[in-house]
Amino acid sequence: MLEKKNGAAIYLVDNSAMPQTLLIKNGRVIDPANSIDEKLCIGVENGRIAWLSKDVPAGFTAQKEIDAEGMWVTPGLADMHVHLREPGREDKETIETGTQAACAGGFTAVACMPNTNPALDEESKIRYVVQRAQDCTCRVFPIGSITKGLAGEELSPFGEMVRAGARAVSDDGKSVRKASIMKNALNYSKSFGIPVICHCEDSDLSHGGHMNEGAMSSLLGVWGQPSIAEEIIVSRDILLASYTGARIHIAHVSTEGSVRIVREAKSQGIAVTCETCPHYIALTDEDLSSYNTNMKMNPPLRTRQDRDALVRGLADGTIDVIASDHAPHVSEEKDVEFDAAAFGVIGLETSLPVVLTDLLDKGILSPSEIVRKMSVNPNRILGLGGGTLSSGVNADITITDPRVLWTVDSKYFFSKGRNTPFEGLKVKGCARYTILGGAVVFERKVMQ
Amino acid sequence: MKKIELLMDALALDRALTRITHQILEKNHDLNNFGIVGMQTRGVFLAQRIAKKIGEIEHAEFATGILDVTLYRDDYRTAFKQPEVKVTNIPFNINGIDMILVDDVLYTGRTVRAALDAITDFGRPKTIQCAVLIDRGHREMPIAADYVGMSVTTRSHQEVALKVIEIDNEDSVWLMERELSD
Amino acid sequence: MALSINHLLGLKGVPEKDITLILDTADNFYEVLQREIKQVPTLKGITIVNLFYENSTRTRISFELAEKRLSASTLNFSATNSSVTKGESLRDTMRNIEAMKIDMVVVRHSAAGVPAFLTRCTNATIINAGDGLHEHPTQALLDMMTIRQKFGRLKGLKVAIIGDILHSRVARSNAWGMTVMGMKVVLCGPPTLLPQKPECLGVEVTDNIDKALDGADIIMMLRLQLERQQSGLFPSIREYRERYGLDLEKLSRLPKDIIVMHPGPINRGIELASNVADGDRSVILDQVTNGVAVRMAVLYLLGGGDNA
C-alpha cells in the first residue's frame, strides 16, 4: 500500500488489493458503448460486473460500498500512448511505478511504447513486459516496434510479438524514414489485424528544432521545427494506408494541417484513427517564454491556431482518442539549458484533470464524449477488451469526481518523473477510485 | 529640508572667494606650473570663479579642470544603487604642478580622499592643495583644507547647501535641517 | 539614478530610461579610456567570471578589458559547447564556480535562454554576452552608443540591418533596443535568411535591399556565416555578394553622411568590401572602442550596491 498525503487529500495506491464484492451507488453511470448515461447502481462480484440497475437487487451484500454521489462511474480509462521506460531506463520509470501512476490517474489499462533499451522488437521482449506487469495496479498492453531496434530498416516479427501479447506496432519516437519499409509494414500488419501507430515527423525538416517554428521561436531565439514536418508524414502514411488497405493510427496529432488531412481521409473512408494529448489542448508555444524545459516535447507545443483546430477536431470526432504520451525523464536530463533538455513530459496523473478543466468545463466535450475518447475508442482501436460496463465483463471501473478543485503538485506523483508542464496549475476534477478487476487499486480520500 | 540660517549671501560668497584667491596667490608663486580643478558638481563653478579672479589679478587666462570622483568612492559595494557618473575633463598636464582642488563643502573628508586617488591616476602633481568654501567639521578621515571660506559648526542631521547662479539662479549658502517628515 | 533591471539578459522589455542611463554612463567611461591611466578602482574586490561556452575572442576580450579597467578580478572559463552528454552540466559548473565566491557572470552560450536559466541557479548578477539566436544586448548598446556619438541623437534615425537576420541575435537585440529609443529599424536579407514570421520582431522586414537602404542614416552589415551556403540557404557567395553585399559602388549612390557599421568579424569582400570597411564612412573601429566603454558602464551599473 502506498500512501501520499497532500494537505487534506490522501492518495492510496494498493498493489496488493484483492477483488471484492462491491456496491457502487448513486453515481452517474456513463457507458457510451451501451448508450447509458444515468444515475444507476452497479454491483461487482468475482472481479466482474454483476449487474447495473436503479435499485440494489435483494440479497446482494457487498464487502465494500462506494457512495459515488455527484461522481461519474465509467468503464476504466485506457491510455494508449505511454512510455514505461523499462527495460533499460528504470531510473526514469519502471513498469511498477508507471502503472501506479496510471491507476492514480484513473487508468485501468495502458499501452506502452517499444522505444525501450533493448527495444520491444521480438517475442521475448514483449513477454518480459507482460510478465513484469503481472501484479501491477493497471493492465499493460505492449506495443511492438515496426522495425528491428527502431532502426527503420528491417521489419520486426509482428506475428510472434502479437502472439506474445502485442496489440499494435509503432516506431514511436520517430517515423519510419523509408516509405518502402513503411509500405511493407502496413501490408504485413494486415495479417494480424493490428493497427500501425504512426509517429509522423520528417526528420530532415524537423532537424535541430527544439520547439515549434513560428513567431515564438523567432522571439526566443530557439531553432524551430515547422508544422509541415508532421503534416508531410501524416499525408504520406495516410496515402500508404489507403493504398495498402491497412489500418493506421496517427499518434500525438498537434497541428491544424494534420487535423484537416485526417478529417479529409476519414471522409474518404480510409481506415485511419488518431489521438492528441492534453498538453496540446491546454498549452501553446506562447507558454514557452520562460524556456521551461518541462514544456519541451516532441511534437512541440504549437500555436493558438493549431490548438483551436485540435479542439474542433475533438468536438467533431476527427480526433478519436486523448492519450498522454507519458514520457518521464530524470532531472539531469531536464534541468539543463533548453536546447540540451530531453524531449518529453509526463501525463498519466494529469490527463484526466486537464481534460476535465479544459474540455468539460468549457463545454467543448460532454462527459460521454470524454469517456469515448479516453476509454471506449482506445479499447476498440487496440482490441483491449475493455471500454464497457456490460454485465459479465471485467470490473475495470473509473470513478471520477468532476467537482474537486485542486492544484497540481508533482511532489505527490506516483510516477518517478517530475517533468510535468502543469506544475502549479489549478484544475477541476480528478479520479476518486480506480477499480481493476473488482479490486480497488486507487482511492483518493479527503480528510475531514 | 528646512532652512535654518543663511551662512553666506551673494556678497559674502564673493568676498570669501576673493580672499581665498589672494591666499592661493600668496602661497603659489610659479603660475606656469599651476592648475585649478573643480570637483563635480558645484566645486566646478567655484573653481571657474577663482580662476577668473586669478586671471584678473595676473592678467592671464587660466583653464580649469573638472573632476568627477564617483568611480573612486569607497561605498560602491554598500550603496543601495550606483550613483551617476559625471564628466571628468582635465585639459592640462598635471605632472609637477601645484594643483588646487576646489570643492563646495568639506565634511567627512571621503570625497577629497577619493579625489586624491583619482588625481594620482592622472599623474603626479608637485603639490595638491585643497580649497573649500565651507568646512563643516565631522571629519572621518585625516584630511584638512588649505584654504577655507568659512568654518561652521554643524550637527550631523543638518546639511550645508550651496546654490550658484550658474545652475540654481542665486548665490547663497544655507544651513539646512532635516524635518521630521523627511 | 539606477537601472530598473538586476541582470542584463536582453534588450526586449528594457525601458528607454535604462538604455539612456547606460549610454550616458558609457560616454563617461569613454573618457576614462582616453586617459593615460585607463583604469579606475571602482570594482576592486568584485569577482567576475567570463563563462564562454561559445568560441569568441573579440567579445570576451572586450569584456575582460572592461573588467580590468574597472579593477575587478576576472576569471575566464572557456568550454566547447557543453551538454549533459559531454561532461559537467551547466548547473553543476555554475555551482562549482559560485562556491568560489563570485559576484557577476558574463555568459555566452549557443543555447538560447541560458542566461535566464543561470539566474535560477545562482545569486550572482548575470550579463548576457550572446545566447543562441536570442539576444546580444551589449552589442546593440555599443551600436547605439556609436550612432549617438556620430549623430548626437538616436530618435528619428533610420537604420538598415542587412544580412543573415534569421541567425542573428545582434539583429534581434538592435530591433528591440533601437525601436524603444525611437529609431526606425529595417531588417533585410534573402528570404531564406529571414524569420518565417517576421512581424514578430515588431520592425519592417524586407528582402529588397534598395527598399531597405532608402532613407537610411545608418547601414549595419551582418556577418555571413559561410557554412550557411552548405545548408542550402543561398546558392553562392557570388550571388549573395551581388545582391546583399555592400561595396563602394552601392555606397556611392547613397547620401554622403551615411555611416557603415558591422559587429565583426568581417568577411572582407563578401558582405562588406575592404575599401568600405576601411573607408571614411565606416565606424567599425569606433564600435570596438565603444564596446569596452559600454561594457564598463553595464558592469558598473549592475555590479555594486547592497543587493543582498
Same domain, A87 and A146: yes
CB count within 10 Å of CB A47 equals 17
pLDDT band at C2 (very low <50, low <70, confident <90, very high): confident
Single-letter code of the amino acid located at A154: E
Query: Hey, is the C-beta of C304 within 8 angstroms of any chain B C-beta?
Result: yes
Same domain, A178 and A249: yes
What is the mean predicted confidence (pLDDT) over C204-216? Answer: 95
Kindly state the cell numbers that stand for A297: 516535447
Same domain, A89 and A210: yes
pLDDT given for residue C99 in this prediction: 86
Kindly state the cell numbers that stand for C261: 557599421
pLDDT band at C36 (very low <50, low <70, confident <90, very high): confident
pLDDT at B146 exceeding the cut of 80 = yes
pLDDT at C84 exceeding the cut of 50 = no
A and C touching (3 or more beta-carbon pairs closer than 8 Å): yes
The C-alpha of C2 sits at a distance from chain B's nearest C-alpha, in angstroms, of 6
Same domain, A375 and A429: no
What is the mean predicted confidence (pLDDT) over A151-178? Answer: 97
Catalytic-role residue among A325, A358, A396, A401: A325
What is the mean predicted confidence (pLDDT) over B16-22? Answer: 97
pLDDT at C64 exceeding the cut of 70 = yes
pLDDT given for residue C135 in this prediction: 97
Q: Are strands C158-162 and A22-31 parallel, antiparallel or unpaired?
A: unpaired
Answer yes or no: do A223 and C116 touch at CB < 8 A.
Answer: no
Q: Which of A101, A74, A97 is closest to A85 using CA atoms?
A: A97
Same domain, A364 and A412: no
| DSSP 8-state class, residue A448 | -
Same domain, A181 and A214: yes
CATH number of the domain bearing residue A82? 3.20.20.140
Query: Hey, is the C-beta of A220 within 8 angstroms of any chain C C-beta?
Result: yes
Answer yes or no: do C304 and B89 touch at CB < 8 A.
Answer: no
CATH number of the domain bearing residue A420? 2.30.40.10
- Tell which of C24, C28, C34 to mutate to test the B interface (max B CBs under 10 Å): C28
pLDDT at A447 exceeding the cut of 80 = no
Answer yes or no: do C304 and B76 touch at CB < 8 A.
Answer: yes
pLDDT at A259 exceeding the cut of 50 = yes
Q: Which of A353, A258, A355 is closest to A310 using CA atoms?
A: A258
pLDDT at A287 exceeding the cut of 70 = yes
Same domain, A63 and A80: no
Answer yes or no: do C46 and B77 touch at CB < 8 A.
Answer: yes
CB count within 10 Å of CB C14 equals 22
Domain extent, residue A85, equals 76-382
What is the mean predicted confidence (pLDDT) over A347-361? Answer: 96
**Final residue belonging to a domain, choices A332, A353, A382:** A382
pLDDT given for residue A240 in this prediction: 98
| DSSP 8-state class, residue C155 | T
Asked if residue C222 lies in contact with residue C272, where contact means CB atoms within 8 angstroms, the answer is: no
pLDDT band at C82 (very low <50, low <70, confident <90, very high): very low
Answer yes or no: do A222 and C113 touch at CB < 8 A.
Answer: yes
A154 lies in a domain?
yes
Number of domains in chain A: 2
Residue-averaged pLDDT of chain A: 96
Answer yes or no: do B71 and C32 touch at CB < 8 A.
Answer: yes
Same domain, A297 and A168: yes
A387 lies in a domain?
no
d(CA A281, CA A364): 11
3-state secondary structure A258-320: HHHHHHHHHHCCCCEEEEECHHHHHCCHHHHCCCCHHHCCCCCCCCHHHHHHHHHHHHCCCCC
B182 burial type by CB count under 10 A (0-12 exposed, 13-18 middle, 19+ buried): exposed
Same domain, A11 and A109: no
Q: Which chain A residues are closer than 8 Å to C109 by Cβ?
A: 337
pLDDT given for residue B106 in this prediction: 96
pLDDT tens profile C106-132: 999 999 999 999 999 889 999 999 999
d(CA C267, CA C163): 12
Give the rounded percent of residues in chain C with a pLDDT score beyond 70. Answer: 96
pLDDT given for residue B61 in this prediction: 81
Could you give all domains of chain B from N- to C-terminal order, each with its CATH number?
Answer: 12-70+86-157 (3.40.50.2020)
pLDDT given for residue C308 in this prediction: 42
Same domain, A412 and A438: yes
Q: What is the DSSP annotation of B108-147?
A: SSHHHHHHHHHHHHH---SEEEEEEEEE----SSS---SE
pLDDT given for residue C78 in this prediction: 79
What is the mean predicted confidence (pLDDT) over A95-108? Answer: 97
What is the mean predicted confidence (pLDDT) over C252-277? Answer: 93
Q: Which chains have at least 3 CB atom pairs separated by less than 8 Å from chain A?
A: C
Residue that is written with C-alpha cell 514544456 in the block: A295
Q: Which chain C residue shows the shortest CA-CA distance from B90?
A: C35
pLDDT given for residue A448 in this prediction: 65
**Final residue belonging to a domain, choices A382, A407, A432:** A382
Q: Which chain C residue shows the shortest CA-CA distance from A208?
A: C111
What is the mean predicted confidence (pLDDT) over B123-127? Answer: 95
Rg, chain B, Cα only = 16
pLDDT band at A249 (very low <50, low <70, confident <90, very high): very high
Least confident piece of the model among A14-18, C246-250, C301-305: C301-305
Q: Which helix (H) or strand (E) holds B2?
A: strand B2-8
Query: Hey, is the C-beta of A47 within 8 angstroms of any chain C C-beta?
Result: no
A396 lies in a domain?
yes
Kindly state the cell numbers that stand for C285: 573601429
Could you give all domains of chain C from N- to C-terminal order, each with its CATH number?
Answer: 16-136+291-303 (3.40.50.1370), 138-287 (3.40.50.1370)
Residues 6+ apart with CB under 8 A from A140: A84, A95, A99, A109, A110, A111, A112, A129, A130, A133
- Give SS3 for A154: coil
Same domain, A212 and A298: yes
Catalytic site includes residue A121: no
pLDDT given for residue B182 in this prediction: 60
Least confident piece of the model among C9-23, C153-167, C231-245, C280-294: C231-245
pLDDT given for residue C86 in this prediction: 55
Query: Hey, is the C-beta of A216 within 8 angstroms of any chain C C-beta?
Result: yes
**Final residue belonging to a domain, choices A382, A407, A427:** A382
Predicted model pTM: 0.88
Q: Which of A165, A109, A112, A167 is closest to A138 using CA atoms?
A: A109
Query: Hey, is the C-beta of C116 within 8 angstroms of any chain A C-beta?
Result: yes
- Tell which of A337, A338, A339, A343 to mutate to test the C interface (max C CBs under 10 Å): A337
pLDDT given for residue A398 in this prediction: 98
Answer yes or no: do C132 and A219 touch at CB < 8 A.
Answer: no
pLDDT band at B102 (very low <50, low <70, confident <90, very high): very high
Higher pLDDT, A8 or A296: A296
